[in-house]
């Protein structure tokens, strides 16, 4: 079949874009052709052909204006619905052209029908499914009711019917079991649980000449101990806890590398983190400018892929307050790095029960947290033991083979 992926963006190192690429790999491995349609598309080698539609991006000025009027305000403009549906009609036409341009047999909506960052796009996907009867699979990463920012709104009926849509030709995937339960209880929609995955059947290669120079480019030596925060810079990632951890370790060898970009947050969180790190007196560096979808050059220096950087890290920090699943956690397992993790809800429900070994805390960085972390820093054999144990867990529970076994029956059923 020819399968089209639709999202607000399909570029960068956010969880939705990364998981989409993994679905593409499995679908192509099974003989299907894949295509992209989004408000931002990756230019990385191997990215599927696509249709760029800028108003699909949640940062488009009109889309953002509609979003800001719909959520968090006491009153709304009387023409809000008219404007949402006018844009939705335009986006549905774009989706129809996407279908016709590539002769698509199926659409996979990548979180665009779950979290209402772009209200007209969610409506457009629902309307496309209902009017054309094209099979749609909604791969849902975050539902609106899981985010406080969407609870106060003026578009509840749109949320009830399009986020996500409930239709005969629409199937649903969710990335954790509580989402699966809540979707059924709230909307009477059955969904299949599909965890985040990585290609554990093919272990990571050793750094090549390009990746080997990362520490040198950062001004670091082999004696420096890298704690890496390999997530976006948004408030629910709880990155201030990583800063607190490094401060309390009080070890001059430790440096915290923060890999994300704070442009997704828009609340000044990144600037506040810099102030917190300065006040804490720790060694730290924001390295988002050194990262890209693929290798290249920017402002006269090298750009690394995220996979180039993981091998250089000694310990991964993952103090998230909330995660849909835990993409960066699975990545750390794959690159055989120990993790200091906050026991967020989905970690407790879907990851911890698999038997992973971590330094885990609930609320505070305690003396026990510090003791376990220092042991990881000094005991190479323990790090290796944990790495091998967690890799085996990943192979059993979070591999491409897991993805294939779950995804392919859903695709085949949806196409009938």
- At residue 374, the pLDDT reads 98
Residue 290 backbone phi and psi in degrees, to 5:
-95, 0
296 pLDDT above the threshold of 80: yes
- At residue 263, the pLDDT reads 66
Percent of the chain, pLDDT > 90?
Answer: 88
Residue 205 neighbours by CB under 8 Å, 6+ apart: none
From 226, 232, 203, select the one nearest 214 (Cα to Cα): 226
Nearest-angstrom CA–CA distance, 210 and 194: 34
Nearest-angstrom CA–CA distance, 413 and 375: 49
264 pLDDT above the threshold of 90: no
In this structure, of 232-241, 256-265, 406-415, the range with the lowest mean pLDDT score is: 256-265
Q: Which of 50-59, 286-295, 300-309 has the highest mean predicted lDDT (pLDDT)?
A: 50-59
Percent of the chain, pLDDT > 70?
Answer: 99
- At residue 53, the pLDDT reads 98
Residue 15 pLDDT grade (very low, low, confident, very high; cuts 50, 70, 90): confident
- At residue 25, the pLDDT reads 96
In 163-313, alpha helices (H): 177-187, 209-212, 214-217, 239-249, 269-280, 306-309
| Segment 99-144, tens digit of pLDDT | 999 999 999 999 999 999 999 999 999 999 999 999 999 999 999 9
CATH 3.40.50.2000 in the chain, residues? Answer: 2-197+400-414, 209-397
| Segment 315-332, tens digit of pLDDT | 999 999 999 899 899 999
- At residue 75, the pLDDT reads 86
Mean local confidence (pLDDT), 11-30: 91
89 pLDDT above the threshold of 90: yes
| Segment 327-363, tens digit of pLDDT | 899 999 999 999 999 999 999 999 999 999 999 999 9
Under CATH, domain 2-197+400-414 is a member of which superfamily?
Glycogen Phosphorylase B; (3.40.50.2000)
169 pLDDT above the threshold of 70: yes
In 103-136, alpha helices (H): 119-132
Mean local confidence (pLDDT), 85-101: 98
Mean local confidence (pLDDT), 256-269: 81
Report the CATH fold assignment for 209-397.
Rossmann fold (3.40.50)
Nearest-angstrom CA–CA distance, 325 and 206: 27
How far the first Cα of the chain sits from its last, in Å, is 12
Residue 79 pLDDT grade (very low, low, confident, very high; cuts 50, 70, 90): very high
72 pLDDT above the threshold of 70: yes
293 pLDDT above the threshold of 90: no
- At residue 285, the pLDDT reads 96
Mean local confidence (pLDDT), 358-369: 97
| Segment 230-239, tens digit of pLDDT | 998 999 999 9
| Segment 157-167, tens digit of pLDDT | 999 999 999 99
Crossing angle of helices 80-102 and 61-70, in 10° steps, is: 130
Residue 120 neighbours by CB under 8 Å, 6+ apart: 55, 63, 66, 84, 85, 87, 88, 90, 91
- At residue 243, the pLDDT reads 98
In DSSP notation, 87-100 reads HHHHHHHHHHHHHH
402 pLDDT above the threshold of 80: yes
Nearest-angstrom CA–CA distance, 238 and 26: 32
- At residue 34, the pLDDT reads 98
């Amino acid at each position: 079949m020819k399968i089209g992926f639709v999202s607000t963006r399909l570029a960068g190192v956010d969880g939705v874009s990364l998981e989409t690429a993994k679905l593409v790999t499995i679908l192509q491995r099974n003989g299907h052709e894949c295509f992209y349609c989004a408000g931002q598309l990756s230019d990385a080698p191997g990215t599927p052909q696509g249709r760029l539609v800028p108003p699909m991006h949640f940062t488009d000025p009109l889309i953002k204006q509609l979003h800001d009027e719909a959520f968090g305000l006491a009153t709304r403009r009387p023409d809000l619905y008219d404007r949402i549906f006018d844009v939705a009609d335009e986006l549905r036409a774009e989706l129809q052209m996407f279908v016709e341009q590539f002769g698509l047999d199926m659409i996979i909506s990548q979180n665009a029908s779950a979290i209402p960052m772009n209200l007209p796009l969610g409506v457009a996907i629902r309307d496309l499914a209902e009017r054309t009867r094209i099979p749609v699979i909604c791969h849902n990463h975050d539902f609106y009711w899981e985010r406080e920012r969407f609870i106060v709104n003026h578009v509840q009926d749109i949320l009830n019917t399009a986020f996500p849509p409930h239709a005969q030709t629409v199937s649903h995937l969710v990335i954790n079991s509580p989402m699966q339960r809540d979707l059924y209880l709230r909307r009477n929609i059955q969904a299949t649980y599909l965890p985040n995955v990585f290609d554990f059947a093919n272990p990571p290669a050793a750094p090549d000449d390009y990746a080997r120079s990362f520490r040198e480019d950062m001004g670091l030596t082999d004696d420096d101990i890298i704690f890496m925060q390999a997530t976006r810079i948004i408030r629910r990632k709880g990155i201030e806890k990583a800063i607190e951890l490094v401060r309390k370790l009080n070890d001059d060898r430790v440096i915290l590398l923060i890999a994300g970009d704070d442009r997704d947050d828009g609340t000044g969180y990144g600037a506040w983190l810099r102030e917190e790190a300065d006040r804490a007196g720790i060694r730290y560096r924001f390295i988002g400018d050194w990262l890209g979808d693929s290798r290249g050059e920017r402002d006269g220096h090298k750009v690394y892929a995220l996979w180039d950087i993981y091998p250089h890290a000694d310990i991964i920090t993952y103090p998230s307050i909330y995660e849909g699943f835990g993409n960066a956690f699975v990545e750390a397992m794959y690159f055989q790095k120990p993790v200091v993790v906050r026991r967020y809800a989905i970690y407790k429900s879907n990851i911890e029960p698999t038997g992973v070994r971590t330094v885990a805390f609930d609320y505070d960085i305690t003396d026990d947290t510090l003791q376990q972390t220092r042991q990881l820093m000094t005991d190479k054999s323990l790090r290796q033991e944990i790495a091998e144990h967690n890799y085996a867990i990943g192979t059993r529970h979070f591999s491409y083979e897991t993805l294939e076994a779950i995804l392919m029956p859903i695709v085949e059923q949806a196409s009938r």
